[in-house]
Amino acid sequence: MLSVVVCCYNEAKVLPLFHKRLMAVLDTLTIRHEVLYVNDGSRDETLALLAGYCRVPGVRCLNLSRNFGKEAAMVAGIDYAGGNGLLFIDADLQDPPELIPLMVHHWLTGSDIVNMQRRTRLSDTSSKRISAHLYYKLMNFLADKFDVPADVSDFRLIGPAPLAALRCMPERTRFMKGLISWLGFNTIELPYDREPRSAGLSKWGPLALIDLGIEGVLALSRKPLRWFSLLSLVIFIATLVLIIYQVSVNTFSSHHVIMGIAAFIALGIAMIGEYLGATLSEVRQRPIYLLDRLLGETPERPEHTCPTHPREQENR
């Protein structure tokens, strides 16, 4: 069975059209399917619309207790999906539901992960295109022994093996693009044209995107810490050489050396603080999300392959 997970936050303006198009597409599939909406603390009429959709068999909704963010909403969808395959799609209709049959075809013919990759970014502003290009370059430069494919959104299908692996990952700091790429497995990227947003405004402002980028670096790589350690050694040696030289020519001045080292240390402390903050999130063991209620029928949950599942215990 295929579970279609739709994370929603203030999508009331576009939900009726999205749901109509999605259900029309799913009715053409030859495999069993369900729709699992995740309402991530919406403040408009999203929940009321979803409650109406859940009266139909095969449609369910997880209503989170507040807005936890898209990454947490996706984790909730992974935890509560009843299918052995899972497909993420946004409700803003930028990702056409009509591409779902193609994704299912590639899944059934052997692909473990089917990623939808934007063919172009012509609809984006020049600044957004440049920042996206630099972002993926940085991610692949920092990633340890795996690649993060460029221009791949959360519009993807995940098969049984990678889905079981995701359910076994206990970390709280989630960066789904990186985690799913880290899994490996037989992965394919299918090019598609992303459509303009049908209604409403994007929830991803510049600051939110910067925050997501920092979270991605913290979740994917320890390279910045390693580089800082090596650079510290280089600066330490260079400082000793400079002091010896200045003493030898009687021009020694400690002010410049102290100011340079202090600035470098401040930068290092800031970076280490970010990693410590991410570690604190793991140590506290707080739930990634809290469920307020579940709307719609409740089928049996899939069996998890991992011996213990911390989120299972926290959200029961």
What would the pLDDT profile of 99-142 be if each residue is shown by its tens digit? 999 999 999 998 899 998 887 766 666 666 666 667 666 666 66
CB of 192 within 8 A of CB of 99? yes
Query: Among 92-101, 165-174, 287-296, which is the least confidently predicted range?
Result: 165-174
- Candidate CATH numbers 3.90.550.10, 3.40.50.720, 1.10.3660.10, 3.40.50.1000; the one for domain 2-204+287-314: 3.90.550.10
Whole-structure pTM value: 0.69
Cα–Cα distance, 234 to 236 (Å, whole number): 5
Cα–Cα nearest to 71, from 87, 54, 57, 88:
88
Smallest CA-to-CA distance from 4 within 117, 112, 154 is with: 154
* 3-class SS of residue 206: helix
Distances (CA, A) of 266 to 19, 55, 56, 129: 51, 57, 57, 32
- Tell me how far apart the alpha carbons of residues 63 and 280 are, in angstroms, rounded to a whole number: 27
Query: If DSSP codes are grouped into helix, strand and coil, which group holds residue 153?
Result: strand
Nearest CA to 76 out of 3, 7, 156 is that of 7
